[in-house]
Amino acid sequence: MEKLMYMMMIEKSKTYNKMTKQAVMEHVENIRKLDDEGKLEICGVFKGYPGMAGMYILNTKSREEAEEICRTEPLVTAGYATYKLVGFQPANRENNYLL
């Protein structure tokens, strides 16, 4: 069985536009921490998609670990965002693009 990765879709809440500088700094520190721990494959901001803020692609050992990362994301804990967690199996050269 192939290892899954997880995508955290970060959705704007009604208070997203009231986000403080402190919340942004905590969010960026969290990104750095996840990257340093090897749990963040890539992240970014969505442009032109109303209601969507951005996403993380997480490289974790389990869905439970990915869920914990989502629950403790500073934008989520502060109420500026919500999230959806989606598991997916990457297609790449090492697994012959899932053939």
- Convert the pLDDT of each residue in 49-90 to its tens digit: 999 999 999 999 999 999 999 999 999 999 999 999 999 999
- Convert the pLDDT of each residue in 21-42 to its tens digit: 999 999 999 999 999 999 999 9
What pLDDT score was predicted for residue 59?
95
* Residues contacting 53, CB < 8 A, separation 6+: 10, 11, 12, 16, 45, 46, 75, 81
pLDDT category at 16 given cuts 50, 70, 90 is: very high
What pLDDT score was predicted for residue 3?
81
What pLDDT score was predicted for residue 18?
97
What pLDDT score was predicted for residue 1?
57
Question: Mind listing the domains of the chain with CATH numbers?
Answer: 5-89 (3.30.70.1060)
- Checking if the pLDDT of 2 tops 80, the result is no
| Claim: this prediction has a pTM higher than 0.85 | yes
What pLDDT score was predicted for residue 54?
97
Nearest C-alpha neighbor of 81 from the set 57, 54, 63: 54
The H or E element that residue 91 is part of is none
